[in-house]
Amino acid sequence: MPRDPAPPPARWADDATTLFASPAWFEWWMEAFGGGEHGSWRPPHGAYAVPYVVRTRRAGGVPLRVAIGAANAYTPQYDTCGEGVPAVPELRRMLRDLRCAALELPFLAPQSRALRAASAGAARGANVVATESAPQIDCSGDWDAYLASRSKSRRKEWREKERALAATGARLEVLATWSEIATRFEELLDVEASGWKGRNGSAIRQRPHARRFFGLACPALADAGKLRVLAIVRDGRTIAFKLCTLHGGRMSSLKTGYLDEFASQSPGQVLQLWTARWCFEQPDVKLFDFLSPSTPHKLAWATAVEPLHSLFVYGASLPGALAWLRWSVGPRVRARVATRSRPGEAAGSAAGAARAASFSSPSRYTSAP
């Protein structure tokens, strides 16, 4: 008797896992950013997969092959795929299989499976570094209570700017289907490129790999009901927008922008006010995630901040020992020396140590998602 066909592999992570650890997300990422040597490593039991790229980094002038989780400045969070929880000995086997000296898995949230790999007693040959943080708004309560929790001066400022912009005929539109979004997509890219991102060359339209990635991701996310565009429209023009994902009750702000010619009217702040209010009104939105990095603007709205970490694993080899000295021991020693010589700069020293410890692209510490 013929067997039933095996079910197709899930394209999306379950609701308890970050959307950005979905097989579909990594497919788009690899196609847009992978380049060179890349893949998805599985242990013999196959309970999880580690999407990765291989790059060359130097330690004391010595070139070393390193594996890096498939993530960059466009990746809000990272985790392994599948239900299995990685173990450090298995990840060291990955390094042997790939002939790499070290592995970095970045952007790990506290609840991520990959971070559990570094649990007490199991982390020989590994270490964890706090790298970034993501401000968030808890939207499960009452909007008026949330607004009252903000300072009186901020509430006054937000309401004044809201009234002034609304008086010009500006309104909020929420787009959810690709047929709606597709007609505005190029306009959204123009809006983003009109301001500082366009001036410094970091707008999506100016980066072919990013343009490819969002061109792949957005239609599929919309078709799966996981994309929302919130836009302020005035006289038929989009003057500000947020491109967000919605998964497991978490609304994540992937991209935001406003027309530079309207900067004096603060459309970005008004849009954030209208977006936050809208999130509180939606029964399927429990959390609004600004994503990393933290900025004073984001923190002014946030009710909590989620820390993000990088997990480093070093191979049981001479190159692995050299990598451990370069990216684990060295940054900690430099930070300790700097802290002792300049006690008032401890926080800056810690941040510098985190950047020095990473062998990922430096842009992920300086570019907003």
DSSP codes of every residue in 88-99: HHHHHHHHHHHT
Work out the pLDDT band at 341, boundaries 50, 70, 90. Answer: low
| Strand-pair category, 62-69 with 102-108 | parallel
Q: Please report, for residues 29, 213, 258, 266, the alpha-carbon distance to residue 196 in angstroms, rounded to integers and kept in the order given.
A: 25, 21, 10, 14
DSSP 230-261: EEEEETTEEEEEEEEEEETTEEEEEEEEE-GG
Mean pLDDT across 32-50: 94
What is the rounded CA–CA span in Å between residue 355 and residue 176? 37
Q: Is the pLDDT of residue 2 over 70?
A: no
Mean pLDDT on 125-154: 96
Both tokens of residue 223? 């078709």
- Position of tokens 């969070």? 77
Using pLDDT thresholds of 50, 70 and 90, give the confidence band for residue 117: confident
Q: Cα(66)–Cα(256) distance, rounded to whole angstroms? A: 33
Q: Name the residue among 306, 301, 263, 257 with its Cα closest to residue 279.
A: 301
Whether pLDDT at 9 is above 70: no
Dump pLDDT digits (tens) for 258-284.
999 999 999 999 999 999 999 999 999
- The pLDDT assigned to 338 comes to 72
Q: What is the mean pLDDT of the chain?
A: 89
Kindly list the distances between the CA atom of residue 8 and the CA atoms of 4, 5, 85, 225, 257, in Å, as whole numbers in the listed order.
12, 9, 22, 20, 37
Reported confidence tier of residue 366, pLDDT bands at 50, 70, 90? very low
Q: Which contiguous run of DSSP H or E holds residue 43?
A: none
Range 354-360 average pLDDT: 56
Give the pLDDT score at 364.
36
Confidence check: pLDDT of 3 > 50: no
Q: Please give the average per-residue pLDDT across 43-51, as a whole number.
A: 93
How far apart are alpha carbons 148 and 280 in whole angstroms? 14
Indicate whether 359 pLDDT > 70. no
CATH 3.40.630.30 fits 141-285, yes or no: yes
Q: What's the whole-number mean pLDDT along residues 166-175?
A: 97
Query: What pLDDT, on a 0 to 100 scale, did the predictor assign at position 261?
Result: 94
Task: Convert the pLDDT of each residue in 310-327 to its tens digit.
Answer: 999 999 999 999 999 998
pLDDT at 60: 85
Q: Taking 70 as the threshold, does the pLDDT of residue 332 lie above it? A: yes
Contact present, 229 and 242 (Cβ < 8 Å) = yes
Could you report the per-residue pLDDT of 211-249, keeping only the tens digit for each?
Answer: 999 999 999 999 999 999 999 999 999 999 999 999 999
Read off the pLDDT of each residue in 163-179 and give the average, rounded to a whole number. Answer: 97
Question: What integer pLDDT is reported at residue 81 of this predicted model?
Answer: 94
Residue 367 has pLDDT above 80, yes or no: no
Task: Write down the domain spans for the chain.
Answer: 19-133+307-365, 141-285
Q: Which amino acid is at 209?
A: H
Could you tell me if 81 and 24 are in contact, meaning their C-beta atoms sit under 8 angstroms apart?
Answer: no
| Long-range contacts from 32-35, C-beta under 8 angstroms, 24+ separation | 32/209, 32/210, 32/212, 32/213, 32/216, 33/70, 33/72, 33/74, 33/209, 33/213, 34/70
**Which of the four pLDDT bands, split at 50, 70 and 90, describes residue 343?**
low
Mean pLDDT of 78-97: 94
Q: At what angle do helices 267-281 and 152-166 cross, to 10 degrees?
A: 100
Global confidence as pTM? 0.88
